[in-house]
Amino acid sequence: MPNRFSQKIILITLFLLSGIFLNAFSQELNCRIQVNSSQIQGTNKTVFEELQKALYEFINSKNWTSHMYSVEERIECNFSITITKQISTDEFEGTIQITSNRPVYNSGYSSPMLNILDDKLHFRYAEGQSLEFNESTHNELTSLIGYYVYVILGFDYDSFSPNGGDEFFQIAEKIVSTAQSSQYGGWKAYESRKNRYWLIENIMNSIYAPIRNYSYVYHRTGLDVMSKNTTDGRAAIIAGLQDLLKVHRQKPNSFLMQTFFETKSGEIIKVVQEGPTSEGMRAYNILKEVNPSKSSEYENIIKRN
């Protein structure tokens, strides 16, 4: 029979182990942060170093969902901030590039999921400032970061199950709604057709649902299958393009469609290039119509077939 002291030691040990377990199986992101301030001359660089550290801890230590992740399952992503203007001691403008990747089943390859440049970065940050986030309260820096975190999560979950990212996109939509009081750009419908507002509007709009569904088809029935059956996987990717064509003809040049191809065009070319000539021509004809800005790149498909 253990005495009271040994029982206490056991309880403390279990408590510590449970903390380690929760810490190892909770955070969703493995995110790299870069803050580039080379365009800002003659100022204290410490604030930018502190910002980079603070953002790293904020993104990688916070639990963004209630789901459990192992270390290997964490989503690989990058937030690259370029400071272009210092308005005051603690007020800055710049751009932010967001990318994320998803592993392909039974391979060492990671597929790009998101690649977007946001040129409306405007925020305040002072050295030592703690970063707090609440989806119902607007903060120009943490709301923007939170918005893109949930977009990353939504894109990732959509690739594993049809509409799997709904719960995360809904939070991103709420962040945009709360941000309508912001005096800065990127959040409102009238400012541009390519901003945070329109990205989440397109994602949640049923008209563009086939684009989201294609993400599932592309990854789960396409790329994830190719390690076992390259022919079937490639065929699924090419067949699904037909649904994108229907969306494009109904609503051409949507921001969501542009975002998809900005991320995926290079990968699609590589996949299709290696297939039969007939498949390549079919894909080429669709791709040059739905994504005309990259028509010259898609010509590589037919040059190789």
pLDDT tens string 91-146: 999 999 999 999 999 999 999 999 999 999 999 999 999 999 999 999 999 999 99
Query: CA nearest 25: which of 73, 60, 81?
Result: 73
91-103 sheet: strands from edge to edge: 29-36, 75-88, 91-103, 110-124
| Sign of the alpha-carbon torsion through 117, 119, 123, 127 | positive
- What element of type H or E holds 272? helix 255-273
Give the whole-angstrom CA distance, residue 244 versus residue 138: 35
pLDDT of res. 276: 93
**Number of domains the chain is built from:** 1
What's the rounded mean pLDDT across residues 224-244? 96
Give 119: exposed, middle or buried? Use CB within 10 Å, 0-12, 13-18, 19+.
middle
Q: How many CB atoms lie within 10 A of CB 171?
A: 21
Task: Answer yes or no: is 32 within a domain.
Answer: no
Structure tokens at 238: 């090419």
pLDDT of res. 17: 40
- What element of type H or E holds 103? strand 91-103
Task: Answer yes or no: is 124 within a domain.
Answer: no
Query: CA nearest 118: which of 187, 60, 53?
Result: 187
pLDDT, tens digit, 9 for 90 and up, residues 156-211:
999 999 999 999 999 999 999 999 999 999 999 999 999 999 999 999 999 999 99
Q: 186 Cβ partners below 8 Å, 6+ apart?
A: 118, 120, 121, 144, 195, 196, 197
Give the whole-angstrom CA distance, residue 130 versus residue 126: 9
Parallel/antiparallel/unpaired status of strands 29-36 and 110-124: unpaired
Give the whole-angstrom CA distance, residue 20 versus residue 216: 34
Task: Give a three-class secondary structure readout of 7-63.
Answer: HHHHHHHHHHHHHHHHHHCCCCEEEEEEEECCCCCCCCCHHHHHHHHHHHHHHHHCC
Task: Answer yes or no: is 196 within a domain.
Answer: no
The pLDDT-based confidence of 228 (bands split at 50, 70, 90) is very high
Task: Answer yes or no: is 65 within a domain.
Answer: no
From residue 8, how far is each of 1, 2, 12, 15, 18 by CA, in Å?
A: 13, 10, 6, 11, 15
**Within 13 A of 131's CA, how many CA atoms are on the CB side?**
24
Give the whole-angstrom CA distance, residue 212 versus residue 243: 11
The pLDDT-based confidence of 5 (bands split at 50, 70, 90) is very low
Q: What percent of the chain lies above the pLDDT cut of 70? A: 91
Task: Answer yes or no: is 152 within a domain.
Answer: no
| 110 beta partners | 103
9 vs 76 pLDDT, higher one: 76
Structural domain that includes position 293: 211-305
Q: How many CB atoms lie within 10 A of CB 226?
A: 21
Tell me, yes or no, if the pTM score tops 0.95.
no
What's the rounded mean pLDDT across residues 244-273? 97
Task: Answer yes or no: is 168 within a domain.
Answer: no
Angle formed at CA 186 by CA 180 and CA 189, multiple of 5 degrees: 60
Task: Answer yes or no: is 246 within a domain.
Answer: yes
Task: Answer yes or no: is 112 within a domain.
Answer: no
Q: 201 Cβ partners below 8 Å, 6+ apart?
A: 189
